[in-house]
Each structure stands twice: as C-alpha cells, then as structure tokens.
Chain A
C-alpha cells in the first residue's frame, strides 16, 4: 500500500476538481457537502492536492493512521 493518502480539510468547497484528476477514482463528493477520499484506494499521488483551488487537500503518512 502507498505510503501516503490524501486528506480533505474543511476548506473544501465541493467543486469536484479533484475527482477529474484522480487516476484511481478514489475521490467522490459526499452529498454536495465535501469531497471524501477512499483511503484504501488512494495511491497518494498528490494530483488532487495540486488541482484543488481551495488548497483543502493535504497528503498524510499512513503510519500516522492508528
């Protein structure tokens, strides 16, 4: 499993730009409120974070997942 995964912060405006670029379809927008990432699927490539206009996505290390 990839070392990192994408986490969506509270600045998310649910625009869906991240959905377009994710190579593994790990992002969805939950009920038009916020984007959510399927951590299992996410390969931590960071494409979504580079795309997000709100700067709402940060990459987290999996080790920190307790």
Chain B
C-alpha cells in the first residue's frame, strides 16, 4: 500500500459541498474556492498541484469508480479528449459562467426577480426554494443558485462519464483542468520550445 496523506481524503468535500447546498444554497459560495485555488496555483506556482493532489472532485470520481467499482472502465472516446472538444467545452463553460454573473448583475440592478431554482444542464429549472430558509440580499442568493447550478451540472456530467468510461474521465475535459494546463503551458513555453527543438522529453 502506498502511504496515505491527509489530502487523499479530500474527496469527502464533494458530497459535503453538494449536500450542504441542498440545505442552504448560500453554502454554494464556498465553491469559489474550487474555482480560485487551482487558478492561483497555476498562475503563481506554474503547476497543476491542485489537480494532482488536492482536487476533491477528481478523487471523488476515483473513489466511486475504482473503490466502489461503479465504472465500466472503458476507454474514453477519442473526440472527448480532442483539443477541439476540450477547449470548446472550456469556452462554453466560461460563457455559461459569464451568463450566470450577468443574471446576478440583473438581480442586483433590480431588473430581474430572484429565481429560487437550480438550473441543470443549462436548461432544466429545478425548484430549490427549500434550500433558501432565510432571505438575504437577492443578488447574493442569485449568485449562490447560479454557482450551485454549474457545480451540480458538472458533477452530474462527471458521474455519467465516470460510469460510462474511466473513473476520472471527467478530468479529460474538466474546464478547470484544461484551463490550468493551458496556463501552465504558457508559463513553461520557453522550456517547451527547448523540448521541441531537442525532440527530447524534459528530464525528471
């Protein structure tokens, strides 16, 4: 057995986060951590330490797929790992993120009512009013509903590909993973050029 580290148990954060959002949607704000941490580590650290070590989601799919044997363990189809799909999905995700911010702004500006729903797969409106026990400033709640929608949708997509393909199939086209890898590529461009010129992989 390989030595276990404290960060090997972070998978618990995924069900915890999704569960808390079923009781009080305002917990969705915590999700900003999962958004900022990987980016900060990539921008300032130039590494994917978040994916490699700390990401709860990747671990969670690993636990479900491998330990709980819920995955068929079939190869991920070629198109899913093609850069066109990966970057396309990233752009789509960022647009949906921007849209969520826009809706939050509309509510802030008073141009739109707070919608107490969670939107699944960017279309399906699911009533979620029970998780909004105490009224807060409308835009704060709107952001929480919007952010939770994105988190739940991506988790469901991840679960689907976990069952269909490899346990961590989501990591192949995960927008955060794609974005951090892109940032790291840009940061390592000099070394990458040297690798291309010599035709050798970097030394370990």
Which residues of B156-190 have CB atoms within 8 Å of chain A's CB atoms? 165-172, 177-178, 180-181, 183-185, 187-188
Interface string of A1-38 (1 = CB under 8 A from B): 00000001001011111011101000011111100111
- Tell me whether A32 and B181 are in contact in the complex, defined as CB-CB below 8 angstroms, given that A55-B75, A55-B76 are known contacts: yes
Residue of B nearest to A16 (CB): B52
**Is B53 located at the chain interface by the 8 A CB criterion?**
yes
The answer to whether A30 touches B172, judged by C-beta atoms less than 8 angstroms apart, is: no
CA distance A55 to B80 in the complex (A): 11
> Of B22-30, B41-49, B92-100, B108-116, which stretch is located at the interface?
B41-49
B residues less than 8 Å from A52 (CB atoms): 166
The answer to whether B51 touches A15, judged by C-beta atoms less than 8 angstroms apart, is: yes
The answer to whether A30 touches B171, judged by C-beta atoms less than 8 angstroms apart, is: no
- B contact patch SS: helix
- Tell me whether A54 and B81 are in contact in the complex, defined as CB-CB below 8 angstroms, given that A33-B192, A37-B204 are known contacts: yes
A28 touches which one: B42, B169, B187, B204 (CB < 8 A)? B204
The answer to whether A13 touches B177, judged by C-beta atoms less than 8 angstroms apart, is: yes
Query: A residues near B, CB below 8 A?
Result: 8, 11, 13-17, 19-21, 23, 28-33, 36-38, 51-55
Query: B residues near A, CB below 8 A?
Result: 2, 42, 46-49, 51-53, 58, 62, 75-76, 81, 86, 165-172, 177-178, 180-181, 183-185, 187-188, 191-192, 201-202, 204
Q: Given A13-B171, A32-B187, A33-B184, 19 more contacts at CB 8 Å?
A: A8-B201, A13-B86, A13-B178, A14-B48, A16-B52, A17-B62, A20-B2, A29-B47, A31-B191, A31-B202, A32-B46, A32-B49, A33-B192, A38-B204, A51-B168, A53-B165, A53-B166, A54-B172, A55-B81
